[in-house]
Structure 1
């Protein structure tokens, strides 16, 4: 009798968890799809369309997305190059290059080109950022609708829309809400410092600007769960 009740309870819990996971996947998929459709409708059918954004800034990010896979394949230094400003060359360490994104999208870039990778990343940025915010809010409050609204507001904020005019490094900020998600999850599940450090370290590499600010600000707070 007790075994049957335990089995029934286990099935109910499993179904509930599956239902919650389905809701989370659906919410994240909707935010990402909304981002793709929005850019497709608004930008990709413009006459003379080349890349998402205005001015010369997108050209540097397109070059960066192409440079890092090229340098990796040809065993060249990743953060210094004499392919620009020759013969002196230039350092990419302090510029707004996107090495992590470039290496993550390298197979796509090598097959379809850096221009396509750039446009795809810019189209994905608001949706992924919103999905990350949804997961962080869901981990904090445990409710789907408020979390979805939080993801929608954060991912499609005026800041995000403004940076989508050509600043890939400032638009692709999914690492920020995901770091909050990792923090909330680590506190709830009592993660070890090593687990949390590895998770946060990987995410921070996706946004070097956020990494620099994180390193600068963290000593001021001295939060035990973070440090």
Structure 2
């Protein structure tokens, strides 16, 4: 797993955040989080690239150019965000947001990064979207709303900002695959079924993904999971046949075995 996350906040026009205003916004949105601009509030540079949140330093760097093109990212995002490709095409700058340091714990780092991004969006009207760790793109207004729950207890924190769930058709029926979960659990989820309706399938994948974000890669090859003893789904470690050898937790409902 990676040691940190790299988030890109898309800007309609290049801009440098006021870090003192950012610190105030973080305090207002998350009063439980110790917060200061690096160097202290008094006389702090508004364009300082660092803020300290508790024991962590968060870097916010302004880049006066669009992010690198990634047509696959925006095609995935368009399945739930119809304006995604339009926003990607028109943005002219971006911010790079990342927690500094080595050997960080994934979930606390994701929570903190998400809280800072939400505060950036609250203080910068130029923000139009967020790309999380190169895998998941979401609109700025959704981030503004969901990031308010960055430090909520499990399972109420915003996993869907970090992990995408994409449905697909397979030879045996329907399936869904995650994108972004591997940063928390080493693998993605690929779930295929002949008998579950799509809404139920997506709900099962969402529940397992949230569990793995919370606990890490605790599901082992050959384990089962489900609502109760009458509903059990098998899990196998494999490299995906459909998605270019992607390492996955391959799940089925028993109808495919």
Whether the TM-score (by the shorter chain) exceeds 0.5 is no
Normalized per residue, which structure has more strand? 2
Query: Which structure's relative contact order is higher, taking Cα pairs within 8 Å and 6+ residues apart?
Result: 1
Q: State the TM-score, normalized to the length of structure 1.
A: 0.29
Normalized per residue, which structure has more helix? 1
